[in-house]
Amino acid sequence: MLEVRNLIKSYEGKPLLRDISFSVSQGETICLLGASGSGKSTILKMIAGLEFPESGDILFNNIDLAQTPPHLRDFGLVFQDYGLFPHLNVFDNVAFGLRMQRIKHKGHEGEIARRVHEMMELVNLTSFESRNVTDLSGGEQQRVALARALAPQPQLLMFDEPLGALDRSLKEDLLNELRGILRQTNIPAIYVTHDQEEAFAIADRILVLHDGIIIRDAAPHEIWKDPQSAFVAKLLGIGNVVEGEVIAKNKIKTAFGILSLDCVKNVGENIQLLVQQIPSPAGEGRGGEVIEEIQLTVEDVFFKQDQFQVKGRGVVLSESKDGLLIHMKDAPRVGDVIRVKVQVKCLV
């Protein structure tokens, strides 16, 4: 449906997006994930027609959108700060898009009211129609913004960090609702965020933006299994990234001991490894991953969710800065040396 080809855009003379291509198909929700300032929002604005790419094409159903002004694109956009019209009440905010489609709804205030009502039901705000938007809480405002974007039945929905300003529990609730709504309406969606939890929770596909290009484009479980690069692993908080030095063809020296692993690197080169704890009791390696047992000195212990988080430092090179975060059922004492089974992967 939506196809983005070779977008290039610079910001204040510096290249921001160097070559962006991706596509979204019907009913699919993709998630653009990247650090702040990486140009995620700019991509959305270009798709919405609010900004122009320096070069590259944006096609929808194989039609080039270059000459279509934003108001004729029929895309919905939900902002982080909601962008609700402060001078209109909830009903009029939601009805705004419907009223703009003059031909479709001319003289059909009843039709509009019905549709608004339907939207309000969808976002669980049925009794709010006559309220003032400035009196609503953040979560309520974002629901209104969502209803407003959905009401005109857009061809594509875009979310620009929509939950960024909300607190944790509200975020989870809204994410679940949003997932339901997107599935129900079957509208393709692009969701921009820097929060990996949101990304994993909502996306059919995750696109990681780094340094002006998309460095990873895959389904969440694939990325989790194989982040491929240290950047993606760190950004998504997958396992621990550990520095190592190749000392022989399949030996890599780290702060946590020498690991047997062949990363196709020359001796003497530095390398980053992904170290993931294997759920205890240590099982077999799945599909060729290397299972290792490492030792570490406990530095800090704290309780999180249903187990203890243990922060440990390597016993081999204790001056190394690398720390490892693992979780255990029982709390060790600070200073203990513990052994943990991990699986290790090479990263680029």
Chain residues binding another protein by CB under 8 A are: 45, 48-50, 52, 60-61, 63-77, 79, 81, 83-88, 96-97, 100-101, 134, 148-149, 152, 155
Name the residue nearer to another protein (CB basis): 86 or 281.
86
Taking the complex as a whole, the smallest distance from the CB of residue 84 to another protein amounts, in Å, to: 8
Concatenated DSSP letters of 106-129: TT-HHHHHHHHHHHHHHTT-GGGT
Which residue from 317, 319, 299, 295 is spatially nearest to 309, judged by alpha carbons? 299
Sign of CA dihedral 92, 95, 97, 99: negative
Smaller CB distance to another protein: residue 71 or 249?
71
d(CA 203, CA 109): 36
* Least distance CB 52 / another protein (angstroms): 6
List b or e across 205-230, with b for residues whose CB sees 16 or more CB atoms inside 10 angstroms: bbbbbbebebbbbbebeebbbbbbbb
Query: To the nearest whole angstrom, how small is the minimum distance from the Cβ of residue 65 to another protein?
Result: 7
Q: Specify the residue, 11 or 52, whose C-beta has the smaller distance to another protein.
A: 52
Q: How many helices (H) and strands (E) does the chain have?
A: 9, 18
Amino acid 259 reads L
Nearer to another protein, 60 or 231 (CB): 60
Q: Which of 88, 96, 19 is nearest to 56 (CA)?
A: 19
Nearest approach in angstroms of CB 165 to another protein is 13
Nearer to another protein, 90 or 233 (CB): 90
In the complex, minimum distance from the CB of residue 263 to another protein, in angstroms, rounded to a whole number: 46
Specify the residue, 60 or 128, whose C-beta has the smaller distance to another protein: 60
Closest alpha carbon to 193 in 179, 207, 211 = 207
State the minimum distance, in angstroms, from the CB of residue 63 to another protein.
5
Q: Are strands 29-34 and 55-60 parallel, antiparallel or unpaired?
A: unpaired
